[in-house]
Chains A and B, each alone.
Chain A
Amino acid sequence: MNTSSGVDSFIFSFLILGYVILIGYLGWRGWKKTRNSKDYLLAGRSVHPFVMAMSYGAAFISTSALVGFGGIAGQFGMGVLWLVFMNIAIGIFAAFVWFGKRTREIGAELNARTFPEFIGKRFRAPGLKIFISLIIFVFVPLYSSVVLIGGARFVQEIMQIPYAWALTIFAAVVAVYVIFGGLKGIMYVDALMGTVMICGMLLLLVTCYWKLGGVIPAHQALTDMAPLVKEHLPAEYELGHRGWTVMPEFNSVWWWTLVSSIMLGVGIGALAQPQLAVRFMTVKSGRELNRAVLVGAVFILLTVGSAYTVGALSNVFFYRTDLGIAGNFQSLAIQAARGNPDLIIPIFIREALPGVVLYLFFLTMLSAAMSTLSSLFHVTGSSIGHDFFRTVSNARRDSLTVTRIGMLFGILLSIIFAMILPPGIVARGTAIFFGICAAAFLPAYFAALYWKGATRPGVWASIAAGTASSVIGLLFFHRKEAAAIGICEALFGQTELISTHPWPFVDPFIYSLPLSAVTLILVSLFTEKLPKNHISRCFRKK
């Protein structure tokens, strides 16, 4: 039976089943090799560099990047390509070379197995470990939910099934293998998924340019469409959108969103992601990290670079093709997607690619979502089972049962969020999560690696200030969230506390990160330093 997208249901179901069996097998192999909590949490610290890099990339890049930000590129254009640059320069090179090696060395020296434990042991603060684990447990489900939404939207469009069904099936498949596999299982599966993602996205890019007549003709066609923005998309024009191959108007609403939330918030926020930082501790030497830089950079360029380019170029395709989607010929991407940017990439893939290629794309999107979700659910479960429960209960060993219950709770919470969050939330939800992580953790994480003078109270104050200022910014200053949540309106009778342009559109990350960093420095200067022998142990090889 064929769906309206030309997908044969039987072949499709057979393919999905085969893929699930394959990842189930890889997860099982990992599970068989999982003998203790070090295996479960750090894959035994002996992962091959290719597996580590692909796993890092696959966990880093999700459907929120491919579908969410790809859709933003479809709506607002190629300015999002700056995020590709940031992802590679900061998220790969700086992360691996300047953060990864020291994280691995200090983490191994202190026998830390999770990000909260790393910070907790580095600053000799068990309470801090609990605090960080709770921050992770509260905010990670928000990010997980938008990744789920990205994947479910794709399934919804390709299979033409209700969103709720797509969401439930998606979450169920991820839940099974992440709960039983541990990190070793996850990393093997991620490596497979990363490979599928590269093949799928590269094929998408090549097909897109081929359909539009080549690289420069495609770009030129999109450039020539710039006058259509004012005519067809007056709301986007008001926000500063001036065409898909130019930057938005300086100091406009969209310029601030692109620069503060997407380029800087997501770009820099990648450095302080707990689910990514833990991967640095899984390799046995710095040599593996050097090799992973090569693999990781190519992976990011081919996956997100393709998604953002194709997202923007989809406007040319939609404009030239009579799809009958928007009820008229010559619709733009966001019109074809019925106003929801999260649907631009799924609809483009469904309409532009032949049925047989759709199968590969389904696996690509499935992989993108599942690899990130598994790492997020893993970090959620370990924050509860390893960091919170073990510390609070003074248990000598990890409780895998508690870890798995924590994961299950995180999964359920993510599904609930995915059900209730509004359309077009994927990219914004990602930016919020990355911004909070950067403001809360980045100064403390950097100090843990590079500043011997950072003190326990300094790190406590920094993490508290970064978290609090991010949350306050979202509730009272950044218009989009403040208006949606409504606490500011209820308390003060206005949408946001400062309405002068550009403040309602400046991401809270822009002031939360400096505040967190300054707090760390000032408090550390005036509080008791950590013992010299502990510092010497941490920085033994520096």
Chain B
Amino acid sequence: MFGLGDISIAIAMLGSIAVTLICVIYGIITWNKGDDSGEGK
């Protein structure tokens, strides 16, 4: 797969890209969400 000798290496490569996409989507969806308080005293 992709010229790689082992499926587990391909999974690591694709998994890294997939989890990055999840983070990007999470960041976009929650861009304006989140608690605004909590300033230290």
Contacts and interface: CB of A to CB of B under 8 A. Distances in A.
B23 A92 contact: yes
Contacts of A81: 9, 12-13, 16
Contacts of A293: 23, 26-27, 30
A12 B36 CA distance: 46
A97 B20 contact: no
A408 B22 CA distance: 41
A294 B33 CA distance: 14
A297 B4 CA distance: 24
Interface string A250-294: 000000000000000000000000000000000011111111111
B16 A284 contact: no
Interface of B: 2-6, 8-9, 12-13, 15-17, 19-20, 22-24, 26-28, 30-41
A228 interface: no
Interface of A: 38, 42, 45, 77-79, 81-82, 84-85, 88-89, 92-93, 97, 101, 104-105, 107-109, 111, 215-223, 226, 243, 245-247, 284-298, 300-301, 305, 541
B38 A108 contact: yes
Contacts of A284: 36, 38-39
Contacts of B16: 81, 84-85, 88, 301, 305
A105 B35 contact: yes
A286 B4 contact: no
B19 A223 contact: no
Contacts of B39: 45, 108, 284
B27 A246 contact: no
Contact of B19 (A88, A109, A221, A289): A88
B4 A85 contact: no
Nearest to B41: A111
B11 to A, nearest CB: 9
Given A285-B35, A290-B33, A215 B26 contact: no
Nearest to A220: B3
B9 A78 contact: yes
Contacts of B37: 285
A108 B40 contact: yes
B1 to A, nearest CB: 9
Contact of A245 (B6, B22, B31, B33): B6
18 contacts: A78-B4, A81-B9, A88-B20, A93-B26, A107-B40, A109-B38, A111-B40, A216-B2, A246-B5, A287-B30, A287-B31, A287-B36, A289-B34, A290-B26, A290-B27, A296-B23, A297-B23, A300-B20
A290 B20 CA distance: 14
Contacts of B17: 301
B20 to A, nearest CB: 4
A97 B30 CA distance: 11
Nearest to B23: A297
Contact of B15 (A85, A287, A288, A294): A85
Contact of A288 (B9, B20, B34): B34
Given A108-B40, A297-B24, 17 more contacts: A42-B40, A78-B9, A78-B12, A81-B9, A88-B23, A89-B19, A93-B19, A93-B26, A107-B40, A108-B38, A216-B3, A219-B3, A243-B6, A245-B3, A285-B38, A293-B23, A305-B16
A105 B36 CA distance: 10
B10 to A, nearest CB: 9
A298 B12 contact: no
A262 B25 CA distance: 28
Contact of A79 (B9, B36, B41): B9
A19 to B, nearest CB: 29
B38 A104 contact: yes
A280 to B, nearest CB: 11
